[in-house]
Amino acid sequence: MDPVRARLQTERDETLRRLANLTDDFQAIVAASQDTNADDEHDPEGATIAFERSQVSTLARDAQRHLSEIDAAVERVDAGTYGVCETCGQPIGEGRLEARPTARLCIRCAERRTR
Ligand SMILES: [Zn+2]
């Protein structure tokens, strides 16, 4: 298999696994909140559960976003545009792609954008 595809596949598997764990966590938190009186906002336990729940759903949303980034990267591999900076058209460095397989911008353009 193409090493780029293999890398994206690994990334995808890991993200799916993370998402599955987060879903388990979320269900555990929901189950725990049904045991305690979490509807009572004056209950400190309820506030903790609400906080945990929002933490987990934020992480799950991040993981889902990452999944769609991976899918978009696979589409770029299919289209032959993977590893090419979307802003300047220069190749994205191999080290950067290794660290961030879903990168759409070269390091220079990415830095310019966050500035
Ligand atoms: Zn660039």
Q: How far is the CA of 95 from the centre of ligand 1 (A)?
A: 15
Q: Residue ranges per domain, the chain?
A: 3-81, 83-115
Give distance in angstroms: CA of 109 to centre of ligand 1: 4
- What's the start-to-end Cα distance of the chain, in Å? 37
For every one of its 115 residues, what pLDDT tens digit does the chain have, with 9 covering 90 and above? Answer: 789 999 999 999 999 999 999 999 999 988 887 876 645 556 677 788 888 999 999 999 999 999 999 999 999 999 999 999 999 999 999 999 999 999 999 999 999 987 6
Quote helix, strand, coil % in the chain, to nearest 5: 70, 0, 25
Task: Please give the pLDDT value at position 113.
Answer: 81
Separation between Cα atoms, residue 81 and residue 66, nearest integer Å = 19
Distance 3 CA to ligand 1 centre (A): 23
pLDDT of residue 46: 77
Predicted confidence at residue 42, as pLDDT, reads 65
